[in-house]
Amino acid sequence: MNHLFTGTLAWMVQRIAAVYLTGFSIYMVGFVLLSPPTGYAEWREWVASLPVSVLTTLFFVSLLAHSWVGMRDILMDYIPGAGLRLVAIALVGFALVAQGLWAARILLGVAL
Amino acid sequence: MSPTPRPKNLNLLSIRMPVTAVLSIGHRIAGFLMVLATPFTIYLLEKSLRSAEEFAQAQEILSSNLRWLMLLPLGWFALHHLLAGLRFLLLDLGIGEDKQSAQLSAWTVFAVGAVGLILLLVVVA
């Protein structure tokens, strides 16, 4: 059963999420610099549009997964005691999931 | 026969780090700081979408002096983290693993990051 816990899945998730985050970030930076929304109405309509809301949801999923793996690496490297480490990782996990739910609520709020 | 104590030097500042090591820890620190800033970013997003008034307030916050403390550093962290990350992805694929290439790519990331910082300063100002 050891092959299940080698960390390969986390490693892949982090890389795949990284690729998506890169693409999304480059697109967003280009968009904001080249054709920024002129006001609230346009901004809200753009975010609420189907493609943008779906892509942004994927962005947050990728961001949280990528952050999780990164934070887990940091905590594993620097916190020596297993008990303290477990508490720290759990807190970070809860914080990331909470932010995900917050982002989901925001995106649902504009779409509805 | 009691074993002699092994030499130990955990004073990191006394060790001369190769550029690749500095890049790597910079990549980690940048990522960590960005994770800390995520709640604030989500907060701004929510604010910008709630009403026209709060949209204007969000714009205010982004263009206030806070931009020097948050927007500029975060933008730079993101840029460095992204560039160092791309370098890591290439290393994962086996590209640039020998010492010369690794050091060259590390310096390249720092150089592009410096150019990016200048561009950021111009945009944020």
Mean pLDDT of chain B: 92
Q: Which of A47, A93, A43 is nearest to A68 (CA)?
A: A93
B1 falls in which pLDDT band (50, 70, 90)? low
Mean pLDDT confidence for B12-26: 93
Q: Which of A31, A101, A99 is nearest to A68 (CA)?
A: A99
Q: What is the pLDDT of residue A36?
A: 86
Mean pLDDT confidence for A28-38: 88
* B35 closest CB neighbour out of A40, A71, A106: A71
Q: Kindly list the distances between the CA atom of residue B27 and the CA atoms of A44, A108, B30, B33, B80, in Å, as whole numbers in the listed order.
A: 33, 33, 5, 10, 7
Lowest-confidence pick of A54-58, A102-106, B5-9, B34-38: B5-9
Runs of H (alpha helix) within chain B: 19-50, 52-63, 66, 72-92, 99-124
| Structure-block tokens of residue B82 | 């992204």
pLDDT in tens, B84-110: 999 999 999 999 889 999 999 999 999
- Partners of B45 on chain A (C-beta within 8 Å) are 103, 106
Q: What residues have CB less than 8 Å from B83, skipping those under 6 apart?
A: B109, B112, B113, B116
Share of chain B above pLDDT 90, in %: 78
Q: Does B12 touch chain A (CB under 8 A)?
A: no
Share of chain A above pLDDT 90, in %: 80
Q: Kindly list the distances between the CA atom of residue A38 and the CA atoms of A32, A35, A46, A106, in Å, as whole numbers in the listed order.
A: 10, 9, 11, 21
* B55 closest CB neighbour out of A43, A63, A99: A43
Interface of A with B (CB under 8 A): 15, 18-19, 22, 25, 33, 39-41, 43-44, 47, 63, 67, 70-71, 73-74, 99, 102-103, 106, 109-110
* Position with higher pLDDT, A111 vs B50: B50
- Partners of B75 on chain A (C-beta within 8 Å) are none
**Residue A93: exposure state from Cβ atoms within 10 A (0-12, 13-18, ≥19):** middle
Distance of CA A54 to the CA centre of its chain: 13
Helix/strand/coil for B76: helix
Question: What ipTM does the predicted assembly reach?
Answer: 0.90
Q: Kindly list the distances between the CA atom of residue A3 and the CA atoms of A6, A7, A8, A9, in Å, as whole numbers in the listed order.
A: 6, 9, 9, 10
Distance (Å) from the alpha carbon of A91 to chain B's nearest alpha carbon: 13
Lowest-confidence pick of A50-59, A61-70, A82-91, B62-71: B62-71
Mutate which of B33, B42, B54 to test chain A, going by most A C-beta atoms within 10 A? B42
Mean pLDDT confidence for A65-83: 95
Q: What is the pLDDT of residue A2?
A: 66
Q: What is the pLDDT of residue A46?
A: 92
Is residue B33 pLDDT above 90, yes or no? yes
Share of chain A above pLDDT 70, in %: 97
Mean pLDDT of chain A: 92
Mean pLDDT confidence for A32-52: 90
Q: What is the pLDDT of residue A1?
A: 57
Mutate which of A94, A96, A106 to test chain B, going by most B C-beta atoms within 10 A? A106
